[in-house]
Amino acid sequence: MKLTNAIFGSSQQQRRINAHRALLRHLAKLGGTVFGPIPEGVRREFFCLDERTWVWHEEWSDQAGQHHATTTRYDVRPNGVLKSQGTNSYQRLQAEEERNFRAAIDLYAQLTQREIARLSTQPA
């Protein structure tokens, strides 16, 4: 076995990893649309990081050209949803915000299922 294969995996393995990462990035961008159209010059992503963690990330530049970014993490637990922005500690979502968050997850699931189905029917 070559040393590079031992360290980095086979080229086929690496292609699968790269394809998986590209798909996740694509779906995260698609997820950024669940709250409406994305303004020009704004980067927005919404995605599931693991079985209970969701991430909302947004970047933009203001009129002065200053770059801004905000990341919100949602931790879905059996007794509710907790949210943290930046370095702030987790706080429980209020009822209306939790309903909106759950609706966003449902819409994300619909969009991504359709997109995966569409991508799977495209020729390789």
Could you read off the pLDDT of 39-90 as tens digits, one per residue?
A: 999 999 999 989 999 999 999 999 898 999 999 999 999 999 999 997 879 9
DSSP 48-69: E-SSSEEEEEEEEE-TT--EEE
Three-state DSSP class for residue 93 = coil
Q: Is residue 4 part of a domain?
A: no
Q: Is residue 46 part of a domain?
A: yes
Determine the pLDDT at residue 15: 83
Please give the residue range of the domain that contains residue 19.
Answer: 12-120
Domain membership of residue 2 (yes or no) is no
* pTM confidence score: 0.80
Q: Is residue 6 part of a domain?
A: no
Domain for residue 70, yes or no?
yes
What is the per-residue pLDDT for 6? 56
Residue 7 lies in a domain: no
Domain total in the chain: 1
CA 3 centroid distance within chain? 34
